[in-house]
Chain A
Amino acid sequence: SDTQVDVDDGKADLFDVNEGAGLDLFEGDILYDEREQK
């Protein structure tokens, strides 16, 4: 066969990956604990 699989599924950036995964993290990819920050 002439199979070809795209491991990125067209997602060009890590922010696209996170958005596709339904994540809504601080600045897109930061784990941020407000209590810790205080």
Chain B
Amino acid sequence: NSIIGDQYKWPKTVPYYLQDDLDVNAKGVILKAFEQYRLKSCIDFKPWSGEENYISVFKGSGCFSSVGNRRVGKQRLSIGSGCDRIATIEHEFLHALGFWHEQSRSDRDDYVTIMWDRISEGREHNFNKYNDSTSSSLNVPYDYTSMMHYSKNAFRNGTEPTIVTKIPAFADVIGQRMEFSDSDLLKLNRMYGCARSSTFLDTCDFERENICGMIQGPEDQADWERVSTVTGGPTTDYTNLGRCTGHGYFMHFSTVSATSGNKALLESRLLYPKRGYQCLQFFYYNSGHTSDQLSIWVREYDEANPNGTLRFIQTIDGPPQNLWQLHHVSLAVSKKFRVIFEGTKGSGSSAGGLSLDDINVSETMCPEHIWRVNNFLSVMETTPQGTAIYSPRFHSKYGYTFQMGLYPNGTIDYPGELGAFAHLTSGDNAVDASLEWPSAWKQITMMLMDQNTDIRKRMSNQRSITTDPTQVIAGSTNFYWDNPRKVGMEVTEADGTKYFRGPGLGTYVYLTQARARSRDFIKGGDAIFLLTMEDISHLVPSQPLPSTTTAKPNTSQPTTAKPETPKPETPKPTTTSKPSSPCDKVTCENDGVCVLDNGGVAVCRCKVGDDWWYTGDRCQFKGSTQDWIVTAVVASVCVLAVMLIVTITSVVCLKKKYKKRMQAAGDDIPYQHAAV
């Protein structure tokens, strides 16, 4: 539920500053969280460039934020140790954007029962609720699936839950920290008046007859058809997998009777890019002949080419298989465009054809690798507790080879959980020998994909770890991310292949098995893990300050926080020197910010509060409303004193003047009369 009052809202583009003390992995995950906001809402984030109010993210002792824009200039938000999870970061930023916890909304007693006698002593205040004059649920029903909801065991003093849901089925649903729920997004988008999201372009599951505005290509010899089943396969679509009678459509290009070389083009509606890079994701079923082909093109439009220019992107490597395959294609388009799916009939005989379903286009980076675990429910149940299964080894674009280790049935200490760990592995001998060891600042992300049709509604579970080149193995002098041939153990695969697996970094509480069974994490029996390795060494240096101010945001802690253990010094890559600026020579004191005025002259903008302010060319003087009162009183007294002196002096002078005049005239008129 949201805090009422426009003054608590941020602009739709929120300025942020990532403090130096943040873990490098945390910085990377924060940027991933921002990407989710951009994909699913109109909220965007930009590096702080001198705006009056901004969010300063630092590494405090824990994860916390204020609620709403407090208009205090630098507003702190802590992502401490253990908080570098995307859902935690999204949760804290929802607070900052103006949201309280879900179970504190005014009507919560209709939906949950707070078990007051099970709450730890002194923690009862955590279960306050707000009346509807101070908070608004934005006309959205109570949301058990909100990422802002406490879990059932929050602040408990024993083993019994502190929150009991009125609908028992939601007992284990509350407290999810995977992703925004539909209602979280509805409320966020309502509160900020979002009409569209920043990086989303299109989604299509072909359930509607208008096929999302897609068109058949004008220059082809065959058409794609909207169907719900095909004799040669697939027998169902991927969206519904045949679960809903009368629903479940996909697009199909039959290669059974087509002439060799015949093409069928399916073109998306017009899309308008902003960023210049996109990810096309879709499910593809090939029941045709090996020689049948699917290719991706784009048709780009500009003033010189109003009818569009075709550009080939790639041919899909998807041999005939009895399953819906997931594919990603990276695009780099900066003009108005359409995506084109081109099916080509090959030379062999076919009993089926090419099929497409669940297409998404967004201005995001594509994941690099896919690990599909077949029959995942069975894998969770039959894998012995404490036993890991491993993905294939994946080659990153940086040369390093890595894999994911998964505990599908938890461990003895953490039963009912999925554990997930990332490992570097040995790859090609010559390549490994040419690489830098230990590996530095490579962030590996392990995402269990929620296979919901619409990318905006997915609550995929993801965790990231980063290779810190200074990390050492406990009780050893070896670096954690050194060459796996040196610090790893030799393993032998089922086919006899031998390689080395380095130490793993990850978590035993990646996701509960119950949550893994929910939503569309398992579809058609399979789970899909998306794995990516990204270089984030650019996040090691400090975030540049606006116009090179010298007033660097500090990292003060709340009074309740414990002092933080100093972070060991880590070697940082050298950064290129910044161009000189007039602000280089100006020092703004007391958190003032140096900016260039219209004439390009460096001036300090000083910090201001409700009843105080800093002033002076360097913000060196402090003022307050109290000072003004004192000044006014002193000034009044001085003016009064001066007037008295002038009056007395005048009276004395006049007196002397008339006394002399009367003496001279011999007149005996009393002095008093003359004065009157």
Binding site for B on A (CB under 8 A): 1-15, 17-18, 20-33, 36
A10 to B320 CA separation, bound complex (whole angstroms): 43
Q: Is B104 an interface residue (CB 8 A)?
A: yes
Q: Is B82 an interface residue (CB 8 A)?
A: yes
The CA of A17 and the CA of B488, in the complex, are separated in Å by 31
In the bound complex, residues from chain A placing their C-beta under 8 Å from that of B91 are 14, 29
Which residue in chain A gives the minimum CB-CB distance to B502? A3
Interface SS, A side: loop
> A17 to nearest B CB, angstroms?
4
In Å, the complex CA distance between A3 and B128 comes to 44
A28 touches B154 (CB 8 A): yes
Q: B2 to nearest A CB, angstroms?
A: 14
Q: Which of A13, A20, A25, A36 contacts B560 (CB 8 A)?
A: A25
- In the bound complex, residues from chain B placing their C-beta under 8 Å from that of A28 are 126, 150, 154-155
Q: Which of B351-410 contact A (CB under 8 A)?
A: 405
B64 touches A25 (CB 8 A): yes
- Given known contacts A27-B104, A30-B65, A17 and B80 CB-to-CB distance under 8 angstroms: yes
A2 to B507, CA, bound (A): 15
A7 to chain B minimum Cβ distance, whole angstroms, is: 6
Kindly list chain A residues whose C-beta atoms are within 8 Å of the C-beta of B76.
31
Residues in B neighbouring A25, C-beta threshold 8 A? 62, 64, 558, 560
- Residue from the list B63, B480, B506, B509 in contact with A12, Cβ < 8 A: B509
With a cutoff of 8 Å between Cβ atoms, the chain A residues found around residue B474 in the complex are 3, 5
Which single residue of chain A is at the shortest CB-CB distance from B465? Answer: A7
Report whether A10 and B414 are in contact in the complex, using a CB–CB cutoff of 8 Å.
yes
Contact with A along B471-482 (1 / 0, CB 8 A): 001101000100
Name, among A7, A9, A33, the residue most crowded by chain B CB atoms within 10 Å (CB to CB). A7
| Cβ–Cβ < 8 Å partners of A3 in chain B | 473-474, 480, 503-504
- Is the Cβ of B507 less than 8 Å from the Cβ of A6? yes
Within the complex, what minimum Cβ distance (angstroms) separates A14 from chain B?
4
Determine the distance from Cα of A13 to Cα of B156 in the docked complex, in whole angstroms: 14
Question: Smallest Cβ distance from A21 to chain B, in angstroms?
Answer: 4
User: With A26-B125, A29-B95 given, is the CB distance from A10 to B508 under 8 Å?
Assistant: yes
- Collect the chain B residues with CB atoms within 8 Å of residue A9's CB: 82
B103-131 near A? 1/0 per residue, CB < 8 Å: 01000000000000000000101101000
Count B-side interface residues using an 8 Å CB cutoff: 55
A4-B503 Cα distance, complex, nearest whole Å = 6
Contacting A at CB under 8 A, from B339-359, are none
B328 to chain A minimum Cβ distance, whole angstroms, is: 27
* A21 near B80: Cβ-Cβ < 8 Å: yes
Alpha-carbon distance A25/B558, docked complex (angstroms): 9
Q: B503, A11: Cβ atoms under 8 Å?
A: no
Tell me whether A4 and B506 are in contact (CB under 8 A).
Answer: yes
Q: How far is the CA of A32 from the CA of B76 in the complex (A)?
A: 12
Of the listed residues B92, B480, B488, B560, the one surrounded by the most CB atoms of chain A closer than 10 A to its CB is B560
Cβ of B442 within 8 Å of any chain A Cβ, yes or no, is: no
Residues in A whose Cβ lies below 8 Å from that of B503 = 1-5
Contacts of A32 in B (CB 8 A): 66-67
Nearest B residue to A25, CB-CB: B64
Tell me if B421 counts as interface (CB < 8 A to partner A).
yes
Q: Is B88 an interface residue (CB 8 A)?
A: yes
Q: Which of A17, A30, A33, A36 contacts B82 (CB 8 A)?
A: A17
Q: What distance in Å separates the Cβ of A4 from its nearest Cβ neighbour in chain B?
A: 4
Q: Which residues of A contact B303 (CB under 8 A)?
A: none
B605 within 8 A of partner (CB): no
B558 & A8 in contact (Cβ 8 Å cutoff): no
Can you list 5 A-B contacts with CB-CB less than 8 angstroms, sorted by A residue number? A7-B505, A22-B560, A24-B560, A29-B92, A30-B95
Whose C-beta in chain A lies nearest to the C-beta of B509?
A12
In the assembled complex, the CB of A12 is this many whole angstroms from the nearest CB of chain B, namely 5
Asked whether B489 lies within 8 Å of A8 as measured between CB atoms, the reply is: no
Given the complex of chains A and B, what is the CA–CA distance between A6 and B410 in angstroms?
A: 13
- Measured between alpha carbons, how far is A9 from B84 in the docked complex, in Å? 13
Question: Which listed residue, B63, B100, B488, touches A18 by the CB 8 Å rule?
Answer: B63
* Contact call A13/B175, Cβ cutoff below 8 A: yes
What is the minimal beta-carbon distance from B567 to any residue of chain A, in angstroms? Answer: 15
Residues of B near A18 (CB, < 8 A) are 62-64
Q: Least Cβ distance of A31 to chain B in Å?
A: 4
Point out the residues of chain B lying under 8 angstroms from A36, CB to CB: 70
Q: Is the CB of B61 within 8 A of A1?
A: no
Q: A31 and B64: CB pair below 8 A?
A: yes
**Bound complex: CA A20 to CA B150 (Å):** 17
- Chain A residues with Cβ below 8 Å from B100 are 27, 30
A18–B503 Cα distance when bound, in Å, is: 28
Which residue of chain A has its CB nearest to the CB of B151? A13
Q: Shortest distance in angstroms between A19's beta carbon and chain B's nearest beta carbon?
A: 8
| Cα separation A29 to B155 with both chains bound (whole Å) | 12
Give the distance to chain A from B430, nearest Cβ to Cβ, in Å.
25
Q: Is B561 an interface residue (CB 8 A)?
A: yes
Give 1 or 0 for each of B597-620: 1 = CB within 8 Å of chain A CB.
Answer: 000000000000000000000000
B65 CB, nearest partner CB in chain A, Å? 6
CA distance A20 to B487 in the complex (A): 32
Smallest beta-carbon distance B85→chain A, Å: 8
Q: A1-B489, A13-B177, A27-B104 are in contact. Are A7 and B507 (CB under 8 A)?
A: yes
Contact with A along B68-102 (1 / 0, CB 8 A): 00100000100011111100100110010000110
- B residues within 8 A CB of A23? 61-62, 64, 558, 560-561
In order of increasing CB-CB distance, the 6 nearest A-B pairs are A3-B503, A17-B82, A18-B62, A21-B62, A4-B504, A8-B507
B562 at the interface (CB under 8 A from A): yes
A21 engages B465 (CB within 8 Å) = no
Contact A27:B175 (CB < 8 A) given known A6-B506, A10-B509, A12-B509: no
Interface residues of B in 470-502 (CB under 8 A from A): 473-474, 476, 480, 487-489
- Assuming A3-B473, A5-B503, A21-B561, is B126 touching A11 (CB within 8 A)? no
**B627 contacts partner chain A, Cβ-Cβ < 8 Å:** no
B219 interface contact, C-beta 8 A? no
> What residues of A have a CB within 8 angstroms of the CB of B561 in the complex?
21-23
A8 touches B62 (CB 8 A): no
CA distance A17 to B61 in the complex (A): 9
Q: Say yes or no: A27 contacts B126, CB within 8 Å.
A: yes
9 additional A-B pairs beyond A4-B421, A25-B558, A28-B150, beta carbons within 8 Å, are: A3-B473, A15-B154, A21-B62, A21-B562, A22-B560, A27-B101, A31-B64, A31-B65, A32-B66
